[in-house]
Structure 1
Amino acid sequence: MQSSSQLFPVALISAERRGDLSEDVYLIKANNSLDFTTELAVTRLGLADRAGPPGAAVVLVHGSFSNRRFWYSPKGQGLGPWLARAGFDVWIAEMRGHGLSPRNQGYASNRLDDYARYDLPAIGAFVAEMNGHPAYWVGHSMGGTTLAMALGLGTLAGARGVAVFGSQVSRRYAGLRLPPLNWALRRVLKGFGRVSGARFKRGPEDEPAGIAIELLRWQSLLGRPGAWWAGLAQSQAPVLVAAGSADEQDPAWACRALFEQLGGEHKQFIELGRAQGLAQDFGHVDMLHGPQAQAEVWPLLERWLRQPEAPLLREAPAAPGAPISG
């Protein structure tokens, strides 16, 4: 089968029309990491009857226990189709073993570091090859954290901009700082090899044990996110960090800590809530899902994608006593 890329083997595994949308699914085998069985699915969405060159490329990166359906429902709804109908060239990435991406041989040992160091650069290179220009990136929750890691590692070179929603690494859980408990949990996870999203009612996908162990190491008594955190200060790409005022999982103060760590002239932090003139205080999921997100948050993101240097909302003051450093 002829590759769809001149960079590395890429197979077009599906090409369909979904109502007014075209849906092309590619499987990338970049062979750039230590696990050569890794294959990554990316779905390209566009208007089926659109003529002329593609619009600006936007790559959407899902969070934990999730897949492309976070952005794109089977009925053609969601942020992905909405951006495609607004004229963007939309690409939806699925991480190793999620959705249409098969599980690689070393699935249980997968880490966010692998995603940031190997997988996102391969996806970015393919999207730029197909579109003709580097992409904007949008990530939710752990997807946004992975994008931040890539920024800190310098593996998103050339990105036109990065937007992260509900993403942070600064919140600490006191119990997980206790060495015996932290060590015991890591040992148990290593034995299971995965964390079931369905069993724990977190989402439709499993997560490899390697990622959970990686996050536990960050939570340990002397744990830190890693060298990528310091590297964020050197990042120059335009960045939008968005937090939900009612997000209890990844609170606004912790998302702001990520924002404060970023370098670059064109960065902005927005808190999605009533204090900023929105109709509600948004939570972790509804900041990007549902009719209110479509009415208020999606247009904000579209404005940022078209003018990443223009301010979106007035910032809410930091909560008194809220930690800022990571």
Structure 2
Amino acid sequence: MKNREEDIFVPLNPTDTLYLKRIRHRHKDGVPVLMVHGVMANGRIFYSGSGKGLAHYLARHGYDVFIADLRGRGQSTPKISRHSQHGQTEIISEDLPALQRAIRQIKGEVPVHWMAHSWGGVHMSSALLRQPQLIAEVASLVYFGSKRSVHVRNVNKLLEVDFMWNIAARILCRSVGFLPARKIRLGADDETDKSHKQSKQWAKVRPWVDSDDGFDYAAAARVQQLPPALYFAAQNDPCRGHRDDVRRFRDESGSHESRLHLLARHTGYKQDYDHVSLLTHADAVSDHFPLVLEWLAGRYGMVDENY
């Protein structure tokens, strides 16, 4: 039976509206899952119009899935332009809490599983550490290729991060007023000047501190305990989510129940996945998506640390 889909629009303030795609099967009382994309992206990383993707997979297994387009991306409005002033601080302190409230207004006061791709995991963990009252509302975390700072050194890092992200993208932001990633085919969606600047700062080997008000996320992680978290890293991901940087992100997030799982042929999987294919490859459905079900069900002992 085909999954049911619904468009939900979440008013954030007088000018901005966030978009949630809701995907569910026959179970009206399915456990809720919130999915958040990374930079230069939108929620379509998790689903397709033909019923493929992790969101549809979870819906077929009884979960009530809500996929977000963060402010200005995807079907959220208004679209990012040179006039957009928001950045990652607003995502952390406003967007994610608003999305959580919207889901709980629909589902009732039940815990929500949080799931993210790439930089979305940084946004999610930061939101929980900045607003620790949310931690009790989140059942678990599942991150795909999420890292904060890029420590690894290789040719890909030199080209993709040092040149494209730190230099070329910065020049574009200064000349256009925002990063037109869609137009230049650098990504699926655009970034504001502020969001690019802030994520660029964090991607460097620097403290996990907010550039707006100096909030120290790393210090908060030493006090707060995040929900149980499953961190996926891909073998063929040289810099955007290198396994060593995923491990560093896990480690700096404080003491919490966690597993780091490497998706590679030598660890028993069908593919050496990359930063995108760990979510989109056809083999993911039978390879590692079942581990997500184990984690969401709280069967943490069924998921090995294989790093």
Residue of structure 1 equivalent to 2:262: 271
Q: What does residue range 62-81 of structure 1 map to in structure 2 within 5 Å?
A: 62-81=37-56
Name the CA distance, whole Å, in 2 between partners of 1:176 and 1:246: 15
Shift of 1:94: 0.6
Cα shift readout 1:128-170 (whole Å, capped 9, x = no counterpart): 2211212101100111121121122135332111111111122
Residue of structure 1 equivalent to 2:124: 147
Unaligned runs of 5+ in 2: 152-156, 210-215
Residue of structure 1 equivalent to 2:186: 202
Residue of structure 1 equivalent to 2:32: 57
Residue of structure 2 equivalent to 1:167: 146
Name the CA distance, whole Å, in 2 between partners of 1:190 and 1:277: 46
| Normalised TM-score (structure 2) | 0.84
Between structures 1 and 2, the one with greater helix share: 2
Q: Report the CA distance shift for 1:266/1:74 in structure 2 as closer, same or farther (over 3 A).
A: same
SS at match of 2:95: helix
Name the CA distance, whole Å, in 1 between partners of 2:180 and 2:299: 37
Which amino acid in 1 is paired with 2:207?
Answer: R
Q: 1:255 aligns with which of 246, 256, 259?
A: 246
Shift of 1:176: 11
Residue 212 of structure 1 pairs with residue 191 of structure 2: no
Name the CA distance, whole Å, in 2 between partners of 1:231 and 1:128: 25
Name the CA distance, whole Å, in 1 between partners of 2:129 and 2:188: 29
- Does the Cα contact within 8 Å between 2:227 and 2:257 map onto a contact in 1? yes
Q: How many residues align?
A: 288
Residue 229 of structure 1 pairs with residue 205 of structure 2: no
Cα shift readout 1:272-313 (whole Å, capped 9, x = no counterpart): 113322222221011111111112121111111112533413
SS at match of 1:118: helix
- Does the Cα contact within 8 Å between 1:145 and 1:164 map onto a contact in 2? no
Residue of structure 2 equivalent to 1:136: 113
Q: Report the CA distance shift for 1:315/1:40 in structure 2 as closer, same or farther (over 3 A).
A: same
Residue of structure 1 equivalent to 2:212: none
Bigger drift between 240-249 and 250-259 goes to: 240-249
Residue of structure 2 equivalent to 1:43: 21
Q: What does residue range 75-154 of structure 1 map to in structure 2 within 5 Å?
A: 75-103=50-78, 108-132=84-108, 133-154=110-131
Cα shift readout 1:89-124 (whole Å, capped 9, x = no counterpart): 110111011111012788633212211111111111
SS at match of 1:37: coil
Which amino acid in 1 is paired with 2:208?
Answer: P
Residue 298 of structure 1 pairs with residue 271 of structure 2: no
Unaligned runs of 5+ in 1: 1-18, 317-326
CA RMSD of aligned residues (A): 2.8
- Does the Cα contact within 8 Å between 1:65 and 1:207 map onto a contact in 2? yes
Which amino acid in 2 is paired with 1:26?
Answer: I
SS at match of 2:111: coil
Q: Report the CA distance shift for 1:293/1:105 in structure 2 as closer, same or farther (over 3 A).
A: closer
Q: What does residue range 12-27 of structure 1 map to in structure 2 within 5 Å?
A: 20-27=2-9
SS at match of 1:43: strand
Q: Report the CA distance shift for 1:184/1:289 in structure 2 as closer, same or farther (over 3 A).
A: closer
* Aligned sequence identity (%): 27
Name the CA distance, whole Å, in 1 between partners of 2:46 and 2:168: 35
Q: Report the CA distance shift for 1:129/1:154 in structure 2 as closer, same or farther (over 3 A).
A: same
Q: Report the CA distance shift for 1:20/1:220 in structure 2 as closer, same or farther (over 3 A).
A: closer
Shift of 1:224: 2.8
Which amino acid in 1 is paired with 2:198?
Answer: E
- Does the Cα contact within 8 Å between 1:127 and 1:134 map onto a contact in 2? no
SS at match of 1:282: coil
Q: Report the CA distance shift for 1:69/1:104 in structure 2 as closer, same or farther (over 3 A).
A: closer
SS at match of 1:257: helix
- Does the Cα contact within 8 Å between 1:161 and 1:308 map onto a contact in 2? no
Which amino acid in 1 is paired with 2:98?
Answer: A
Cα shift readout 1:236-270 (whole Å, capped 9, x = no counterpart): 31111111122112200000001112234422211
